[in-house]
């Protein structure tokens, strides 16, 4: 614990978060080794600081350290930048040039945004990591280098692998020791202390008074999501230091200078165009919403049926009553079916209006000339998602007379997925 505090003071890392201190502890432990480290985290969380901590605590600390943003180097020149080139290797190559892996021999290279590295460059990097060998562009001579690689990315490299944009063998080679840096929204206890540090720094820079936040302003900053993380918080502190005259910042001052801090980006369900790509989180939210809607509709039906029975109301045509009940739901159901993310929603709502439901839940209509003919019975429905999906597929196939392409289009899924579901549920 004392070592972590010492490292925090040495590198200016300000945090009270146990999550960030855990990540820092991992960096301290892996620093004395030569293991490759992959640092992941959103943009602006301070991944480069962690790479410097690892280098400064390693046996290579007296050797060169260089940070390279792979996404900032054009694809056509990145091989030359990293591995060097020979004279005449390409147009403009007027002489030999050493690459970073050659000039930083014995030191540490920090490869930021490694997920943006081209595929051919990834194969060269993999060879260096495995054997320490590389070849300059335009040369046939194999050279050796002894460089420790610390990589970082703000994207999920596993998604890149699935898209065919990143080599899986390189990922496992880089991911020897993973370090995850939490975003600022997951360590909100750091927001006030970081803001205080930034405001003091900018007061010295602009030769003014250091600004402070009142309690309401602290709550506003604490409830904001900070997509830009620490970098964005630093920008906010600088803007307020320059644009406000008073020392104590209120929530109203924040609203006038930075109104975007009051925007709330609530989660929304969107159609991705393919039923296969809908995320589990989206489905979980959707199912909860639909079950709540279903329960509300069932309660409403019970109330209506009870009113009809208790007040001896005359309804001449039950089909007319059912048509009125479903009138406002047909267009809504049709819209839901067109979205691939709402295939289960269509199944839930259709079950509410099929003939089987009304045959089981038909209300008993009483009038002054007739006695009660029966007792309304509510049968507990099967809420299994699997049975709902199976029933919806069966109805779609019946509607389109077994034409799978048209049924798949209506369900919002691919024909291949429909074929798999047909075999899964034995709907041949």
For residue 370, pLDDT over 80 is answered with no
The topology (CATH level 3) of 2-182 is: Rossmann fold (3.40.50)
* pLDDT > 90: percent of the chain: 52
* The domain defined by 185-262 carries CATH number 1.10.8.60: yes
Least confident piece of the model among 36-40, 87-91, 164-168, 254-258: 87-91
Q: What is the pTM of this model?
A: 0.61
CA 315, CA 375: separation in Å to the nearest integer?
A: 17
pLDDT value, residue 53 = 96
Least confident piece of the model among 40-54, 98-112, 231-245, 334-348: 334-348
For residue 356, pLDDT over 60 is answered with no
Q: Average of pLDDT values for 332-356?
A: 45
Per-residue pLDDT of 97-133, as tens digits, reads: 999 999 999 999 999 999 999 999 999 999 999 999 9
For residue 351, pLDDT over 60 is answered with no
For residue 207, pLDDT over 80 is answered with yes
Residue 36's pLDDT band, with cuts at 50, 70 and 90, is very high
Which of the pair, 12 or 377, is modelled with greater confidence? 12
pLDDT value, residue 155 = 94
CB within 8 A of 18, min separation 6: which ones?
Answer: none
pLDDT value, residue 215 = 93
Residue 232's pLDDT band, with cuts at 50, 70 and 90, is very high
For residue 326, pLDDT over 60 is answered with no
User: For residue 106, what are its two tokens?
Assistant: 């014995």
pLDDT value, residue 55 = 97
Per-residue pLDDT of 134-173, as tens digits, reads: 999 999 899 999 999 999 999 999 999 999 999 999 999 9
For residue 372, pLDDT over 80 is answered with no
In this structure, is the dihedral angle defined by the CA atoms of residues 240, 248, 191 and 264, taken in order, positive or negative?
negative
For the chain, the structural domain boundaries read 2-182, 185-262, 275-424
For residue 246, pLDDT over 80 is answered with yes
Per-residue pLDDT of 188-199, as tens digits, reads: 999 999 999 999
For residue 365, pLDDT over 60 is answered with no
pLDDT value, residue 184 = 95
Which of the pair, 325 or 36, is modelled with greater confidence? 36
Per-residue pLDDT of 274-315, as tens digits, reads: 444 445 566 666 776 787 788 788 878 777 777 777 777 665
For residue 209, pLDDT over 80 is answered with yes
What are the beta bridge partners of residue 71?
Answer: none
């Amino acid at each position: 614990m004392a070592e972590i505090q010492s490292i925090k003071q040495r590198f200016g890392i300000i945090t009270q978060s146990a999550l960030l201190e855990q990540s820092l502890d991992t960096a301290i432990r892996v620093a004395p080794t030569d293991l490759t480290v992959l640092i992941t985290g959103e943009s602006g969380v301070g991944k480069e600081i962690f790479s410097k901590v690892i280098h400064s605590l390693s046996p290579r600390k007296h050797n060169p350290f260089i940070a390279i943003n792979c996404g900032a180097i054009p694809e056509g020149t990145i091989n030359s930048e990293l591995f060097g080139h020979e004279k005449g290797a390409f147009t403009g190559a007027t002489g030999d040039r050493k690459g970073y892996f050659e000039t930083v021999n014995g030191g540490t290279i920090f490869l930021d945004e490694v997920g943006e590295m081209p595929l051919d460059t990834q194969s060269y990097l993999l060879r260096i990591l495995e054997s320490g060998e590389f070849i300059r562009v335009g040369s046939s001579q194999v050279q050796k280098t002894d460089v420790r690689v610390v990589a970082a990315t703000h994207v999920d490299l596993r998604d890149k692998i699935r898209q065919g944009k990143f080599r899986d063998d390189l990922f496992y080679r880089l991911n020897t020791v993973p370090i995850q840096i939490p975003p600022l929204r997951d360590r909100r206890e750091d927001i006030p202390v970081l803001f205080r540090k930034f405001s003091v720094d900018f007061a010295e820079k602009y030769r003014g008074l250091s600004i402070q936040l009142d309690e309401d302003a602290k709550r506003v900053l604490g409830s904001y999501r900070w997509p830009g993380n620490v970098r964005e918080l630093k920008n906010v502190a600088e803007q307020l230091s320059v644009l406000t005259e008073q020392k104590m910042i209120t929530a109203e001052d924040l609203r006038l200078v930075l109104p975007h801090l009051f925007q709330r980006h609530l989660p929304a369900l969107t159609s991705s165009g393919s039923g296969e790509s809908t995320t589990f989180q989206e489905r979980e939210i959707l199912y909860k919403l639909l079950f709540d809607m279903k329960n509300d509709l069932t309660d409403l039906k019970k109330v209506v049926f009870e009113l009809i029975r208790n007040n001896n109301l005359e309804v001449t045509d039950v089909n007319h009553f059912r048509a009125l009940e479903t009138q406002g739901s047909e267009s809504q159901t049709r819209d839901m079916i067109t979205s691939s993310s709402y295939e289960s929603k269509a199944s839930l709502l259709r079950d509410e209006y099929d003939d089987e439901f009304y045959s089981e839940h038909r209300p008993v209509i009483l009038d002054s000339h007739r006695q009660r003919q029966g007792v309304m019975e509510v049968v507990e429905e099967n809420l299994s998602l699997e049975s709902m999906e199976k029933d919806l597929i069966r109805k779609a196939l019946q509607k389109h007379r077994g034409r799978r392409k048209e049924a798949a289009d209506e369900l919002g899924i691919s024909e291949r997925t429909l074929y798999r579901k047909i075999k899964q549920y034995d709907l041949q």
